[in-house]
């Protein structure tokens, strides 16, 4: 069994509007047989934080186009994307790209 993981989730660039306007979420992912990865985190967010309109946040098993995921201040592409295994105290940011000027 993997121990529970406490992580810091942040939403920005307008993505926070899907979470009642709350940017910062300190959450604890419960203990489970395998270690938590980002793919499972997205499912957990949908079930626990995002109650409505999931299509504005996820597409298939990933985030929708136009949302950038950052793990500990780095592009998730550098970290293994959906397969990245979450560590205790990780910081995961979901930022919607801005287009205004």
Partner 1 sequence: MTDEVGYLKAQLEEKEKDIVALKNKLAHLEKSNASVLELYEKVTPLTPLKAKASLSNEDIMRYSRQLLLPELGVQGQLNLSKTSVLVVGCGGLGCPLAQYLAAAGIGRLGLLDYDEVELSNLHRQVLHGEENQDQAKALSAANAIKRLNSTVECIPYHLQLSSENALQLIQQYDIVADCSDNVPTRYLVNDACVLSGKPLVSASALRMEGQLTVYNYHGGPCYRCLYPVPPPSETVTNCSDGGVLGVVPGIMGCFQALEVLKIASGQGSSCGQQLVMFDAQDARFRSIKLRPKQAGCAVCGENPSVTRLVDYEAFCGSAATDKCRKLNLLSRDQRITVQDYKSIMDTAEPHLLLDVRPLVEVDICHLPTSLNIPLSSLEYRKSEHIQLLQESISQLKQQMEGDCRPPVYVICKMGNDSQKAVQVMEKMSGSEVDSITVKDISGGLMAWAKRIDPTFPQY
CB of 24 to partner 1, least distance (A): 10
From residue 86, give the alpha-carbon distance in Å to each of 1, 18, 20, 99: 15, 23, 25, 30
Q: Cβ contacts of residue 11 below 8 Å, gap of 6+?
A: 18, 19, 22, 23, 25, 93, 94, 95
| Contact code string over 31-50 relative to partner 1, x by CB under 8 A | --------------------
Binds partner 1 by CB under 8 A, chosen from 40, 68, 82, 85: 68
Binds partner 1 by CB under 8 A, chosen from 29, 41, 70, 92: 70
Q: Which is nearer to partner 1, 33 or 101 (CB)?
A: 101
| Contact code string over 73-92 relative to partner 1, x by CB under 8 A | xxx-xx--------------
**Cα atoms in the 13 Å half-sphere on the side-chain side of 64:** 11
Contact 97, 12 (CB under 8 A): no
What are the residues binding partner 1 (CB under 8 A)? 12-14, 51-53, 55-56, 64-68, 70, 73-75, 77-78, 95-101
């Amino acid at each position: 069994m993997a121990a529970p993981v406490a992580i810091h989730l942040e939403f920005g660039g307008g993505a926070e509007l899907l979470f009642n306007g709350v940017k910062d979420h300190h959450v604890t992912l419960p203990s489970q047989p395998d270690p938590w990865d980002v793919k499972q985190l997205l499912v957990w967010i949908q079930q626990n934080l995002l109650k409505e309109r999931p299509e504005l946040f996820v597409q298939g098993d990933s985030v929708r186009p136009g949302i950038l995921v950052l793990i500990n201040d780095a592009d998730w592409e550098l970290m293994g994307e959906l397969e990245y295994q979450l560590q205790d105290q990780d910081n995961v940011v979901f930022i919607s790209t801005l287009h205004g000027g």
